[in-house]
Amino acid sequence: MSAGRLLRSLLRGEGLVFTAGVYTPVQARLAELAGHNCIYVSGYSCSIGYLLRPDIGFLNLSDMVNFAGMIARAVRKPVISDADDAYGNAVTATRTVEEFARIGVAGIHVEDQRFPKRCGHLAGKLVLPFDEALLKMKSILRARDEVDGDLVIIARTDVLGSEGGTVEEAVRRGIAYADAGADVVWAEFRSPDDEAAKIFAERVLAEHPSLPLLFNYSSSFKWSRSKWRLRFRDVASMGYKLLLVSMGGLQAELVSVWRYLKGLAEEMEAAHWRLESELEGTPFENLHEFAGISRYAELERLFLPSGELRERYGSE
């Protein structure tokens, strides 16, 4: 079964589908081992993780296809990748669809911002006019049908966070993208207590009752300190089917690596001994096995000349 079909099956199933954003094959493998049913390649995490730059348009199509491709090859679960604004207009965006389909991801999300795009929770966003945004989405969907009909297209509107943006316009765009054939619709909201989240879901689902909606449990917000303190079950009860903790993997990595390196600087070997203890019983306690050395050792045994094996490993 193709990755796209796997993701579609998940979205048709019972319950909320959720995961955290990752940016490396290692993080993706950990998400898979931890029991997540899909993997999300976060564009902002890639921008920070590889460039140490904010998400204001520094990454290009080749970058994201390369990162997402390495991740898709490292896991068996379906992979959703950030495709930003599809890196062009309605015509050049067709190549974006072709390239992501080629590497085997299950789905991509595309937003209706003007180039250069930026994180949905940074000020200064500009969105395409409604008619241009809709035509661009129709072009993307047509390209999808031509190259891989299973590829899930997630249409995102950032209009709420733009100057003068309204929930009415977000709903208008969400319904229009669904009418055009988008598989999933996503609106970016302004805060963890944004009433627009409820309004958007109610109005879009009134027109498209079976449409999966995506909710960004954004790493830009402090959910535990918000007024609503939304739990995942609250998001599901509003009608959302897919939830992404957008930069969760990067945030967790930063905390863990910072603690270790700070400890190493201050406590020297004691910090590393503590890390060795913490590694015990994890799937990555033995890094050689985590990377699959046994598989390649077996390939050597089967296919390398016996003389080379004796040279490498001795007479045994």
Q: Give the up-direction half-sphere exposure of residue 68: CA atoms within 13 A in the CB hemisphere.
A: 32
Spatial CA neighbour of 102 closest among 242, 3, 237: 3
Sign of CA dihedral 40, 58, 70, 105: positive
- Using DSSP bridges, classify how beta strands 152-157 and 184-187 pair: parallel, antiparallel or unpaired: parallel
Query: Angle 167-180/130-147 helices, nearest 10 degrees?
Result: 30
Q: How many residues does the chain have?
A: 316
The first and second tokens of residue 206, run together, are: 């009134």
Tens digit of pLDDT at every position of the chain (316 positions): 899 999 999 999 999 999 999 999 999 999 999 999 999 999 999 999 999 999 999 999 999 999 999 999 999 999 999 999 999 999 999 999 999 999 999 999 999 999 999 999 889 999 999 999 999 999 999 999 999 999 999 999 999 999 999 999 999 999 999 999 999 999 999 999 999 999 999 999 999 999 999 999 999 999 999 999 999 999 999 999 999 999 999 999 999 999 999 999 999 999 999 999 999 999 999 999 999 999 999 999 999 999 999 999 997 6
pTM (2 d.p.): 0.96
Range of the domain at 242: 3-246
Buried/exposed code over 225-245 (b: 16+ C-beta within 10 A; e: otherwise): eeeeebeeeebbebbbbbbbb
The crossing angle, in degrees rounded to 10, of helices 130-147 and 93-103 is 40
The answer to whether residues 59 and 153 belong to one domain is yes
As for how many domains the chain has, the answer is 2
User: CA torsion, points 277, 278, 282, 285, in degrees to nearest 10?
Assistant: -50
Instruction: Tell me, yes or no, whether 134 and 49 share the same domain.
Output: yes
- Per-residue pLDDT of 203-257, as tens digits, reads 999 999 999 999 999 999 999 999 999 999 999 999 999 999 999 999 999 999 9
21 bridge partner residues: 40
162 lies in the same domain as 240: yes
58 and 129 in a single domain? The answer is yes
Phi, psi (5° rounding) for residue 302?
Answer: -80, -35
Based on the domain organization, do 114 and 189 belong to the same domain? yes
Check whether residue 315 and residue 195 sit in a common domain.
Answer: no
* In a shared domain, residues 145 and 193: yes
**How many whole angstroms separate alpha carbon 245 and alpha carbon 189?**
14
Query: Is 119 marked active-site?
Result: yes
Tokens 């619709």 correspond to: 185
Question: Tokens 């765009």 map to which residue?
Answer: 173
Q: Which of 269, 287, 82, 97 is nearest to 186 (CA)?
A: 82
How far apart (Å, rounded) are the C-alpha atoms in residues 146 and 138? 12
Q: The tokens of 72 are what?
A: 């898709």
Q: Looking at the structure, do residues 156 and 302 belong to the same domain, yes or no?
A: no
256 in a structural domain:
no
- 216 plus 313 within the same structural domain: no
Selecting among 119, 154, 175, 184, the annotated active-site residue is 119
305 and 222 in one domain? no
Q: How far is CA 126 from CA 13, 67, 105, 117, 166, in A?
A: 35, 26, 28, 8, 14
- CATH number of domain containing 90: 3.20.20.60
User: φ, ψ for residue 210 (rounded to 5)?
Assistant: -100, 5
d(CA 284, CA 282) in angstroms, rounded, equals 5
